[in-house]
Amino acid sequence: MIAQVFWNGRPVPFCEGETLGSALTRAGISDLGRAPTGQARAVFCGIGQCQGCLVRVGTRLTEACLLPCVDGLQAEPDAGGQTDA
């Protein structure tokens, strides 16, 4: 069994100890949706400073670059950002 997380329902494999941001980047997933301001969400600083890679896990927004992967983790783009004017 390969450990995997799910991005928008799509399985993404990860290594032990890896962050979600790193796993998504290695899987070629760079577009993480849109912020309410219209700005693209994506990894930028990679170390938890810029707030650019916020994703939704359950109901919470969190930095993908800091979030440790655990098997079965479900993450998706920030819905709040997509529905905004």
Long-range contacts of 7-16 (CB under 8 A, 24+ apart): 7/75, 7/76, 8/75, 8/76, 8/77, 9/74, 9/76, 14/69
Rounded to the nearest whole angstrom, what is the least distance from the CB of residue 9 to other proteins in the complex?
19
Of 5, 7, 12, 19, which one interacts with other proteins (CB under 8 A)? Answer: 19
74 binds other proteins (CB under 8 A): no
Q: Are 43 and 37 in contact (CB under 8 A)?
A: no
Of 3, 4, 66, 76, which one interacts with other proteins (CB under 8 A)? Answer: 66
Both structure tokens of 50: 């810029």
Q: Which residues form the interface with other proteins (CB under 8 A)? A: 15-19, 22, 25-26, 28, 30-32, 35-40, 42-52, 59-62, 65-66, 68, 79-80, 83-85
